[in-house]
Amino acid sequence: MRTLQLLILFIPFLSIGQLGNTMYGLYRNNNPSTVQLATIDPTTGVINVLGPNLGNTINLTGVSLNPYNNTYTYQDQDSWLSVDLTNGGIVNDVVVSLPSATGNFDNFKFNTSDTTMYGIFSQVLYNPTTGVYSGDMRLATCDLSTGQVSLISPASVASSYVMAGSSINPHLMVYYFISEGKLMGIDLYNGSIYTQPLISIPSGGDSFDNFAYSCVDTTMYGLIVNHGVGVQSLGKINASTGVVTPLPTALNFDNYIMNGGATIDPINLIYYFETMDNNAQIYLVGLSLLDGSIVSNVMLPPSGTYFDMARIDGDCYGATPSRLNPSLQLEESTWSLSIAPNPSSDLVTINSNSQIEYLRCYSMDGKTAREITLDGNNQFSIESFPKGVYMLEVRTGSTSRIVKLVKD
């Protein structure tokens, strides 16, 4: 029997209806050279261009989608361009201002739990005493109103990084990237190393690439790749131990396209990436987060056009930190909440050390299923529910949490 993890998101009175699964990206044409914000239907491959030409340059090292102010931000040659998600027009254009002219700000991501964009500021430093060049990598943020990149890490946290992706856990407040075979977890509060386990790849693979964090099940997913063969399977990594576990479905793709990005549909539980065949034809592939099987595999427009840096607007919407800033010396939440059994076919028991004041169940598309009334044993029945995945909103006092519930 497949085991699904319990989801606990710390969300202050978030409406489940705000979850979305629209996929945005940059539609790029080589002839003539144009860049436009667009959406794509991942089931058909149909691209809908949202607005005018934004230029002809993309820095393919990161992108930031802010679902709260409806902007998609990327870097062109020397500026941050923030683009309106509704009409594809530029709402802000500021010059990138770096801490050092010799450095770069790459692998940047938007964190939904503090509405800040984070990335890695990297530079190569020369030591005149030893005559040795060394890499200096530090966590940094960017103020998109001014373009200013500011360092968080007081010292270098790595000497290099792999352009295999980056990810943020908005609950733990940790930024992840890969360096020299380690999954580097960097504390968003102070820029120090939070975890740095060696990555353990299962037999048949040699790297864990193109990873993305899913708030739905608080898991980081990515592609298990053998660079002499291709993509072997979808996998998930334990960020504390570095152990990569493959999902059961074997895959046979020759490659993945780095600039296509990785993004997760929080409603349908799908991981998306792009691949290219021997004829340079690009495909958008969707893999199930449950077993890694292929959910969709659609052909994108002909050679010479691209759909780059895909992001889905609803993933991690409304997340709030579960780990507080250690410098504030605040107490962590003492609310303990769990449900069992999960999956279930009938009775579900809620275990809580706080009085539950409100309980409502939603289907994964955000539509209200029903309000729930607990019996004297803190139980309710889902026998009449259709099989599927539901979101259970639980409130106590001023705190609200969302728990994923599976009807088996």
**Segment (H or E) for 388:** strand 388-396
Find tokens 């690439």 and name the residue. Answer: 209
Report the mean per-residue pLDDT for the chain: 86
In three-state form (DSSP H/G/I as H, E/B as E, the rest C), the secondary structure along 7-66 is CEEECCCCCHHHCCCCEEEEEEEECCEEEEEEEECCCCCCEEECCCCCCCCCEEEEEEEE
pLDDT of 49 reads: 96
Q: Where exactly does CATH 2.60.40 map onto the chain?
A: 326-407
Find tokens 């504030």 and name the residue. Answer: 328
Hey, what amino acid is at 198? Answer: L
pLDDT of 367 reads: 54
Distance of alpha carbon 264 from alpha carbon 286, whole angstroms: 9
| pLDDT of 332 strictly over 60 | no
Mean pLDDT of 350-362: 82
| pLDDT of 24 strictly over 90 | yes
| 264 in Cβ contact with 289 (< 8 Å) | yes
pLDDT of 333 reads: 58
pLDDT of 19 reads: 56
pLDDT of 2 reads: 31
| pLDDT of 348 strictly over 80 | yes
Each residue's pLDDT tens digit, 368-382: 567 788 887 888 898
- CB-side neighbour CA atoms (13 Å) of 373: 1
Percent of the chain with pLDDT over 70: 91
| pLDDT of 6 strictly over 90 | no
Each residue's pLDDT tens digit, 255-277: 999 887 899 998 899 999 999 99
Q: Which CATH superfamily is domain 20-312 in?
A: TolB, C-terminal domain (2.120.10.30)
| pLDDT of 90 strictly over 50 | yes
Distance of alpha carbon 48 from alpha carbon 308, whole angstroms: 14
| 294 in Cβ contact with 252 (< 8 Å) | no
Kindly state the tokens that stand for 146: 């001014």
Q: Which 3 state secondary structure label does DSSP give 83?
A: strand
Distance of alpha carbon 80 from alpha carbon 78, whole angstroms: 7
Residue-wise burial string across 41-72, b where 16 or more C-beta atoms lie within 10 A, e elsewhere: ebeebebeebbeebeeebbbbbbbbbbeeebb
CATH among 3.90.25, 3.40.190, 1.20.1070, 2.60.40 for 326-407 = 2.60.40
pLDDT of 159 reads: 92
- Burial of 20 (C-beta count, 10 Å sphere; 0-12/13-18/19+): middle
CA-based end-to-end distance of the chain: 10
Residue 97 gets which letter from DSSP? B
pLDDT: is 331 or 283 the higher one? 283
Instruction: Kindly calculate the radius of gyration of the chain based on its CA atoms and give it in whole angstroms.
Output: 22
Cis peptide leading into residue 343 (ω within 30°) = yes
Distance of alpha carbon 33 from alpha carbon 40, whole angstroms: 20
Mean pLDDT of 331-351: 80
Distance of alpha carbon 41 from alpha carbon 24, whole angstroms: 10
Q: Where exactly does CATH 2.120.10.30 map onto the chain?
A: 20-312
pLDDT-wise least confident of 180-184, 238-242, 333-337: 333-337
What band does 240 get if pLDDT is binned at 50, 70 and 90?
A: very high
